[in-house]
Chains A and B, each alone.
Chain A
Amino acid sequence: MGNFWTGYLEPGLWIVAQILVMILPVAVSVAFIVYAERKILALMSLRRGPNIVGPFGLFQSFADFIKIFFKETIIPTGANKVVFLAAPIITFVLAMIAWAVIPFGPGLVVADINVGVLYLFAISSMGVYGIVMAGWASNSRYAFLGAMRSAAQMVSYEVSMGFVIVSVLLVVGSLNLSAIVEAQRGLWFAIPLLPMFVIFFISTLAETNRHPFDLPEAESELVAGYQVEYSSVSFVLFFLAEYANMALMSGITTILFLGGWLPPLDIAPFNWIPGTIWFVLKICLLLFVFVWVRATLPRYRYDQLMRLGWKVFLPVSLIWVVLTAGALVAFGWLPTKG
């Protein structure tokens, strides 16, 4: 029995504890991301935003959550029940499990796997299923149109995201996320790979179905796209997943281009602050840009979206991969085997 305790139960409980420490802050921070988005949007359009519930309206998101939680779950008559209920669950689970490989600081990661980048890419490429299943199972025109748009959009932008990741991997020489961050000591990849950074950030906007690429849920034409038939908890799961995905994509961008937990300069006042705080600050900065873009840009037309993905981003990122590889070989900058 002792073997069972030390061999399975203890590491098992330790893993569960790590998961809880990881997931709970993410779930709670979603509430504050929503609050921050509403507040920033309000300030940008000269309104006040939420200011009634709690100090400065800080508890608004929790109030909304409790309200929506007690609503009735409605399943449409024509809906395919199992798929209809599975869709939000899949979306939420995918948004959460991706956090397992995100390093919050040196060694501060639940699963430090060799192929961390590929894992994140795989998880984000599966995100489309939740939306497509929701759209199909709802048995509604609006939901279906939204799902179709979303599938095409996410598949298109994944291609150029893949090439961006390849160019970063060429420079690093490893697929481990901690190794990628460590490789940026001295110079963040956002500077030498600036075009890739811009392409990657715009692609993450499309991947998370955020403005100006929110065609799947364009409320002026599709009501709310794939979410139209959802209510109560199933809607909350979609909503939480969307914002958790935003934070996740900001985290990935930070790791790939903004030096993860590294301070901007490795000198006295900056490296006093722990790496985790730098990491969270960088995520907050990118989240602010997400909201800023939403407040500033109008929605893209569908053909413009496809044109940008296939005719602009794909060739540019492909050429940049070739250039990066060529420069690394020509100047002898190839990463040495570690």
Chain B
Amino acid sequence: MIVQAIAFYLFAAIIIASAVMVIAARNPVHSVLFLILAFFNAAGLFVLVGAEFLAMIMVIVYVGAVAVLFLFVVMMLDINFVELRQGFLNYLPVGALIGLILMIELIFVLTAGTVTPVVPAATGAPIPAIGQVTNTEALGAVLYTRYIYLFQASGMILFVAMIGAIVLTLRSRDGVRRQDAGKQTGRTRAESVEVRKVAPGGGV
């Protein structure tokens, strides 16, 4: 068990250190890179508790897709670093408040079982032990039966958000010359090449 313990403290320490660096780093690109490091180590923690599916999804979704877009945007922005640091103290109370609320919520969720044993029995679903089924199967069996409406609802919310983002950024401008791949590949030799005899000094 010593190896597991060492691995846990290593991952946990790196997560906390890189999370601090996310807000402390001077360069926004470094912040995003530290954020990615934090995500990656969180996936390591998931592996340690045997949640291999969640770990891989964490890496694929957060590291592989979300953070790439973050990095993409941050790299392209022309940011004045000095100006960026000035509002730090103004935003500190709001940030601290949000952090506090999140922490209280987490404590409520985690201690609900010990305070009122009825709650987890009413909300939770029985999960088979890790040895019996792979956790991909266990997750699927719960997600698509018991929580199917919530699952579908979250899908709809994401779908609406996607449509919203497209509608907000869609601009139709005049004078845009669009590429039409069908037209381009449909061209034939007869209509695009012409051989002419040019008389010297005469021009085409």
Contacts and interface: CB of A to CB of B under 8 A. Distances in A.
Given A175-B136, A307-B181, A136 B29 contact: yes
A113 B52 contact: yes
Interface stretch (A44-52, A127-135, A267-275, A313-321): A127-135
A21 B11 CA distance: 28
B33 A125 contact: no
Given A118-B53, A126-B64, A133-B33, A8 B3 contact: yes
Interface in B4-34: 27, 29-30, 33
A155 B52 CA distance: 23
B68 A132 contact: yes
A115 B52 contact: yes
B179 interface: yes
Interface in B38-69: 52-53, 56-57, 59-60, 63-65, 68-69
What is the interface of chain A mostly: helix, strand, loop, or mixed?
Answer: helix
A72 interface: no
A148 B33 CA distance: 16
Contacts of B53: 114-115, 118
Given A136-B29, A136-B75, A307-B181, A126 B52 contact: no
Contacts of A83: 29-30, 33
Contacts of B30: 83
A115 B181 contact: no
Given A136-B75, A155-B68, A115 B3 contact: no
Interface residues of B, number: 28
A152 B134 CA distance: 34
B36 A129 contact: yes
B68 A119 contact: no
B134 A125 contact: no
A83 B2 CA distance: 33
Nearest to B76: A148
B11 to A, nearest CB: 16
A157 B38 CA distance: 26
Contacts of A158: 64-65
A225 to B, nearest CB: 15
A43 interface: no
B72 interface: yes
A148 B59 contact: no
A64 interface: no
A303 B72 contact: no
Contacts of B52: 113-115
B71 A125 contact: no
Contact of A115 (B36, B64, B136): B136
A152 B76 CA distance: 13
Contacts of B75: 132, 136, 144, 148
Interface of B: 2-3, 27, 29-30, 33, 36, 52-53, 56-57, 59-60, 63-65, 68-69, 71-72, 75-76, 134-137, 179, 181
Given A8-B3, A126-B63, 16 more contacts: A114-B53, A115-B52, A118-B60, A122-B56, A122-B63, A125-B59, A129-B68, A129-B71, A132-B71, A136-B75, A151-B72, A158-B64, A175-B136, A303-B179, A304-B179, A307-B181
11 contacts: A115-B136, A118-B56, A125-B59, A125-B63, A132-B68, A148-B76, A158-B64, A158-B65, A303-B179, A304-B179, A307-B179
Closest 5 pairs (CB-CB, A-B): A125-B64, A118-B56, A122-B59, A114-B134, A122-B60
Interface of A: 8, 80, 83, 113-115, 118-119, 121-122, 125-126, 128-129, 132-133, 136, 144, 148, 151-152, 155, 158, 175, 303-304, 307, 337
